[in-house]
Structure 1
């Protein structure tokens, strides 16, 4: 029994010595190779933080787009009220005279016809030659419409019974004696190079023509010549 106790003491003693030696060995090893703490650069930290923040922002946007429904998804539609543009009805003056009940200047739309103007003037008088007027013709702004009496001849150079297109053609063929050059003036009957130059000199040295009658003040333009020109010229 005594020997058994001695053996246990020897075993325990060796065990204690082994533990002591192991502790000494570990201490020396740690002393020779100390634990090194790795320092992370501030740039890497900032970059990591920025990346983290960007990731959070993207996650928030994805969450909003997922959670917040659009107007089309919830059935709400935007409607824009389109206001109708106001219709501008411009009116133009037309002078009607002759064999009508109430001669005068009447304002009608640019698309009106002669019949509308005649109605505004009270209609034809009893002596009016109704066959001389084209009631279906379109009016020409600022035109003068003379309704002739039965048997009366009207000079069509001072009136208009035809349609707008024909009236414009007639007006465009008139020679303006205030602006025409010598070639244009010489296209008129009875006007040669001498008279054309005389007309141009009159405009330059005297005055512009106030009316076509002033043309008779030009040297060489008499009544006979003027009668040939009056239906073909304007100022």
Structure 2
């Protein structure tokens, strides 16, 4: 009887040990899990990023084969708009437009005929953003906007801002040569601008 009791006790101990090991394997050990954490962001906390229009709308008129409204990729230049309109006609004044100028959305591009003087509407082919800054096809330094000034050769946003600052601090330009008083306007820049501007 005693041997049977000892054998049963040994079996019970082995069974208890096996259960303890099994439970230990299944229970958590307090260590970090290998499953990556998931961050949930509510829609209200997401800041919308404005998107830039992928196309430009340009109204091409004048001495082109097919005048009309065209959509062009952002960053297109006047040469692209003229090409979209079928190219210039045989009587187009090619010197009347700056083919390298970058286009802006919503502008009207006019290619003049030979001998024609174009009154510059908003965003016209000569690069004006408004008729107020244009006189006889030249940009008026006393009335031009920053956008109009940027259509000039060698004038980017920084130089246009300097011209406007000078005008604010010193009043009207009395001559084109006043440009030489602006920081950053050297002889080469002045030579490129002097025939394109007026006062």
Q: Normalising by the residue count of structure 2, what TM-score does the alignment of the two structures yield?
A: 0.39
Greater fraction of residues in helix: 1
Over alpha carbons, which structure has the higher Rg? Answer: 1
